[in-house]
Amino acid sequence: MSFDYPNKINALNQADKTKFYRLLARELTVVNRATWSDAQATETERTDRLKWLNEIMHRVLNRLIDLSDEGESWTDQEVWDLIKQHVAQNKAISDEVSWAIKRSYEQVLAQRVQPAQV
């Protein structure tokens, strides 16, 4: 996964970071649906992929909760390290997780208020 997650996410302000994690949670549900309906994979493979995707979703939601509370118990670097660890458990989810991360980040950037065009 080539996305420079720690630096790019850490550079976001609090509001954009919160938006990123909300969007990432949504995009991971899209990945889950695609995984569940993958007719090319065996039931055992689909179940294993879903297990690791669920672990990633758990970390994303924990980070989102941290951002809404006063104190932070997880850093973006720690979340990234955990995402990579979970992807390493089933490399078949790597492309989909990368897609979800990049898409979420791009959406945050696209949703930033643009200066009025004159």
pLDDT digits (tens, 9 = 90+) for 77-110: 999 999 999 999 999 999 999 999 999 999 999 9
Average pLDDT of the residues of the chain: 92
Q: Which residues touch 76 (CB under 8 Å, ≥6 apart)?
A: 5, 6, 9, 10, 17, 63
CA distance from start to end of the chain: 40
Q: What is the pTM of this model?
A: 0.90
Q: Calculate mean pLDDT across residues 31-48.
A: 96
pLDDT band at 112 (very low <50, low <70, confident <90, very high): confident
pLDDT band at 8 (very low <50, low <70, confident <90, very high): very high
pLDDT band at 71 (very low <50, low <70, confident <90, very high): low
59 pLDDT above the threshold of 60: yes
Q: Calculate mean pLDDT across residues 58-71.
A: 88
118 pLDDT above the threshold of 60: no
Sign (positive or negative) of CA dihedral 5, 51, 30, 25 = negative
Does 43 or 1 have the greater pLDDT score?
43
117 pLDDT above the threshold of 70: no
